[in-house]
Structure 1
Amino acid sequence: MLGSLSMVHVRLLAGCIATCLCLAATAQDGTYYKWTDASGTVHFSATPPSGQKAQTLKLEGAAGEQAAPAPPAPAVEPTPQLEEAQGAYRKRACEAARNDLAVLEKNRMVVSGSSPDAATKLDAEQRNQAKLRAKQRITQFCETGNKP
């Protein structure tokens, strides 16, 4: 759960960075247009709308000036609660990986998803790939010092 939560944060951060880069690329001369559509929604754009009356906005300091770089964010030390949660997550992930490997080594049927109706028998190559992934997860989560 903690691993997927941090993955959400990573994706959100990546999306914010990509949005900022796109906005910075379009903010070449600092001229923007503001208009309201028929439903009352206000829009802002770097290009004027076609067939709409738009207000021209000029951003101060945007005409070719480059902003000073932001200072680097200070490093954040993990709290004891975070370290405890990460340890519990690693323990659960380790147990799950070991259980998966045990099932795969016994050549049992593997259920895909949450429906027993979707049970499938893996061929030798699929089973070997699944074993390899389970062993990688065991190395990642069960060995001390490794963090997700």
Structure 2
Amino acid sequence: MRFMFLAGGLLLALSSTAMAAQVYKWVDAQGVTHFGAQPPQGQQAETVNTVTAPARPAAAPQASPQGEPAAAPDQRSIDRQVKQQVAEQEAERKRYCETLRTNLAQLQNNPRVRVEENGEVRRITEEERQARITETQEKIAENCN
């Protein structure tokens, strides 16, 4: 029984290519492009690939009047989730940029910056402050528009 289905499927698949006729394309003396099953006499013609894409399944979404495909309900929920994630990432990036700009202002306007390391508070040197200013400016240039 499986052999019958396999043989039938194979014959069906091969029959579409066997029935496909050769199509020729040529341009006449007036510059008009022609297509035909027979090449013209005394004129060069090229063959056209007639393999077509498979037909769309009946359940495929059709295009809406605005030109956008009508999305399935689950696709709409996925789109909504992705948009929400993008909005959250953008909000997080804005908060990060705001923090960077605040830190840069503090570093530039206050020569006596203190940091806490290993539970101890110490004042950073001028070289450390300048390095942090440069690093912060680079981060702002990379991440903030």
What is the TM-score of this pair, normalised by structure 1? 0.38
Q: Larger C-alpha radius of gyration, 1 or 2?
A: 2
Relative contact order, CA 8 A, sep 6+: which one is greater? 1
